[in-house]
Amino acid sequence: MKVSLDQAHNLIRSADQILITGHIHPDGDCLGSMLGLYHHLKAAGKKATLLLDDDVPSGFRFLPNWTDIKKPAHQNEQYITDLLIVLDASDKERIGRVGACVSGPVLNLDHHVSNTQFADYWYVDTKAAATGEIIVDLIHAAGEPIDPDSALCLYTAIATDCGFFRYANTTPKVLRYAADLLEQKVKPELVSESIETSTLADIQSLIAVLGTLELQQEGRAALITVDSHALSLTENTESYINYPRSIAGVEVAVMLKEVEADCVRVSLRSKTADVSKIALSFGGGGHMRAAGCTLNTTLDQAKSRILEAIARGLAER
């Protein structure tokens, strides 16, 4: 059932035990939204628990109370809750094992066009740059103030999902919210430096990956591959796709990541074609200009299938 922000707030207010989760392979929006809402609820005297079926990447371990994010212990562990709040995830598969081990009504707050309306209650604003923006909307709708810990997390959520105010989703509203959050003692340099700090192994991995760069489809598509060697050096590969994306004339950038044998994670970025459609056609999802999916095939097969789909996407334009 579709709900308004006021209805979402009422659901949260009337729940005693609240569980908050987000998507696997968490990014800044996912973690910042989870922790931002968590701090806000705690400040309001609510009991909330953070559950995520993945590790918190090292670059986000500056977020206050990130260690409160727990992984579901094992398959048989069951959590009963008054409300499971699913943030920044557009389908049930995206929350991994949390979907199977939690019982209770589900409220989904999200901003993906590919949202499948899987939850009992859903609020999806595809105009929002980040789920963090929706959390700020929610707090405003409730007429409540934002505390400094919450502000740091929500600033991180919003800033990361709009590429630190550079992508097309950077609206005047985004900049106003960022300004309001900075009023709460957020230090923007702390956020960007923490996320951007790299290790020598990170750079060695990047060197290996950039060596795989290739242009396809007359320079309209660019592709990089993260093989198991590059992945053994680091898991912080999120920013790599910015390199193929930045090449003049490239409309669609692809990163293929061999996460295990016959399992390839695909990241897509676009300046023209709708890559959320391409990702959806492989069971994934995302936004028009940033999307992803997973293919259970070899790297070579994944590459040819994705390139075929991109060729079709580009031809449609």
- Provide the binding-site residues for Mn ion, judged by CB under 5 A: 27, 29-30, 88, 130-131, 161
Binding to ligand 5GP (CB under 6 A) within 20-79 occurs at 23, 25
Q: Determine the interface stretch with ligand 5GP among 45-53, 97-105, 145-153, 289-297 (rule: CB under 6 A).
A: 289-297
Position 289 contacts ligand 5GP (CB under 6 A): no
Residue 267, binding choice from Mn ion, ligand 5GP, none, Cβ under 5 to 8 Å by partner class: ligand 5GP
Comparing CB distances to ligand 5GP, the nearer of 15 and 154 is 154
Comparing CB distances to Mn ion, the nearer of 159 and 209 is 159
Residue 91, binding choice from ligand 5GP, Mn ion, none, Cβ under 5 to 8 Å by partner class: ligand 5GP
Place of tokens 């990130």: 66
Comparing CB distances to Mn ion, the nearer of 27 and 258 is 27
Task: Count CB atoms within 10 A of the CB of residue 16.
Answer: 9
Comparing CB distances to Mn ion, the nearer of 114 and 234 is 114
Edge-to-edge strands of the sheet including 83-87? Answer: 69-70, 47-51, 17-21, 83-87, 106-110, 121-124
> Out of 293, 295, 299, 302, which residue is the one contacting ligand 5GP (CB under 6 A)?
293
For residue 305, the minimal CB distance to ligand 5GP (Å) is 15
> Out of 90, 150, 170, 225, which residue is the one contacting ligand 5GP (CB under 6 A)?
90
For residue 25, the minimal CB distance to ligand 5GP (Å) is 6
> Out of 53, 91, 149, 258, which residue is the one contacting ligand 5GP (CB under 6 A)?
91
Q: Determine the interface stretch with ligand 5GP among 150-158, 198-206, 209-217, 285-293 (rule: CB under 6 A).
A: 285-293
> Out of 59, 132, 286, 313, which residue is the one contacting ligand 5GP (CB under 6 A)?
286
Residue 32, binding choice from ligand 5GP, Mn ion, none, Cβ under 5 to 8 Å by partner class: none
Which residues are near ligand 5GP by CB under 6 A?
A: 23, 25, 90-91, 94, 114, 267, 284-287, 290-294
